[in-house]
Amino acid sequence: LANYCRQYIPHYAEKTQPLSEMIHGQKMEMNDKLSWTPLTEAAFVNLKQDIHSSTTLVLPDYSKPFTQTVDCKNGFMTSVLLQKHGDKQRPVAFYS
């Protein structure tokens, strides 16, 4: 579910790093135990909160121009695809 919602969560890759590192490069079976730590617990709780309070995205209007902002911080690339709706730039998608 969380990965499906990643386009709604700014800085997704950075926020989920502790969870990704927990399983990265490991072949996991259904009965395998995870090394759950206070750091992974905090990342999980924060991710649930981010999903619950995620930003409302607008539908893209392909007849209008898009603006994309890109940032790189702490080794993570993040991007927001924006489009003007009314008098404001609104997010269409987040990438991380």
pTM score > 0.85 for this model? no
* In the chain, where the domains are located: 6-95
Q: Residue 79: which pLDDT band, with cuts at 50, 70 and 90? A: very high
- CA–CA distance, 34 with 44 (Å, rounded to integer): 13
Q: Residue 54: which pLDDT band, with cuts at 50, 70 and 90? A: confident
CATH number at 6-95: 3.10.20
Average pLDDT score over residue span 68-75: 90
